[in-house]
Amino acid sequence: MATAKLLLLVLAATSCCGAGAWELRGGLRKMPPAVEAAAERLREDVAAPVIHALRPLVGSAGDLAGVPCDSWRLAVEAHNKIDWATVPASCEGYVGNYMFGGHYRRDSRFVVDEAIAYAEGLKLGGNGKEVWVFDIDETSLSNLPYYAKHGFGTKPYNATSFNAYVLEGSAPVLPETQRLFKKLISLGIKPVFLTGRTEDQRAITVANLRRQGYSGWMKLLLKPVGLKASAVAYKSDERRKLQDAGYLIVGNIGDQWSDILGAPEGARTFKLPDPLYYIG
């Protein structure tokens, strides 16, 4: 039975955090070639996605009345589920496994591969006016160390503790995005950071970006302190200003739909995965 075969592949999720927290439980037995081939592909990515094979339909509690976490995540990524405040409590384990188990990294890699293929195919004008807009949080830098300690999005947003984390300037790089960033510079397309972080966080944000290996951006646009505007309104307004200044926004990448909605969006937009929180 398919379920039995999948069980052979299942990884044991241990109690806490970190990329190495999931280890193979026992060895893989002799399996039919198709299953063996699937297992081989999964091993490449520390086999994290198979965690979900064990519980594809319900939250980590295993409660049959629970939220179907994989359907929930798909609805979130497709922007069918909007304006949500927290990850369903029963999906904390699912989201944790997704983020740390290799699946998140693999999904991000796929997005960036598409973005790079698109960028490499662009015919540039030769006037240095092409720019690419990058969001920062969960796009260029990761706040996963914070969210791992705060229930993987299952707890209501706490501005006090989150801002304290931001001010540490310790957010790690998202390596796939950085690969795109560097590729664009080598192609002659100028990166512009456009973030919902506020102007008073400029110094720590610059320090954090530099520590994590970013350099050579054209602009870093932060939200004025006290500006009352939705993310869509603020970000599209800033993109409009870039366009009015003569720049051509050839690409735009973010983890929120509010990064990529609202004219001018950019000639092409790329949505990175983010099951942790929603910004409207």
Ligand X SMILES: *[C@@H]1O[C@H](CO)[C@@H](O)[C@H](O)[C@H]1NC(C)=O
Binding site for ligand X (CB under 6 A): 158, 160-161
- Three-class secondary structure of residue 235 per DSSP: helix
Q: Taking CB within 5 to 8 Å according to partner kind, which of Mg ion, ligand X, none is near residue 160?
A: ligand X
Q: Taking CB within 5 to 8 Å according to partner kind, which of ligand X, Mg ion, none is near residue 236?
A: none
**Cβ(193)–Cβ(140) under 8 Å?**
yes
Q: Taking CB within 5 to 8 Å according to partner kind, which of ligand X, Mg ion, none is near residue 137?
A: Mg ion
- In whole angstroms, the minimum distance from the beta carbon of 15 to Mg ion comes to 28
Q: Name the strands in the sheet holding 248-254, side by side, starting at the edge strand that comes first in the sequence.
A: 219-223, 190-198, 130-134, 248-254, 269-271
Query: Closer CB to ligand X, residue 86 or residue 269?
Result: 86
- In whole angstroms, the minimum distance from the beta carbon of 254 to Mg ion comes to 6
Tell me which residues in 103-162 interact with Mg ion (CB under 5 A). 135, 137-139
Question: Which residue is associated with the tokens 């929180």?
Answer: 277
- In whole angstroms, the minimum distance from the beta carbon of 222 to ligand X comes to 23
**Cβ(183)–Cβ(209) under 8 Å?**
no
DSSP β-ladder status, 248-254 and 269-271: parallel
Which of residues 92, 176, 238, 255 is near Mg ion by CB under 5 A?
255
Name the burial class of residue 137, with classes exposed (0-12), middle (13-18) and buried (19+) by CB atoms within 10 angstroms of its CB.
buried
Query: Closer CB to ligand X, residue 84 or residue 162?
Result: 162
Q: Taking CB within 5 to 8 Å according to partner kind, which of ligand X, Mg ion, none is near residue 138?
A: Mg ion
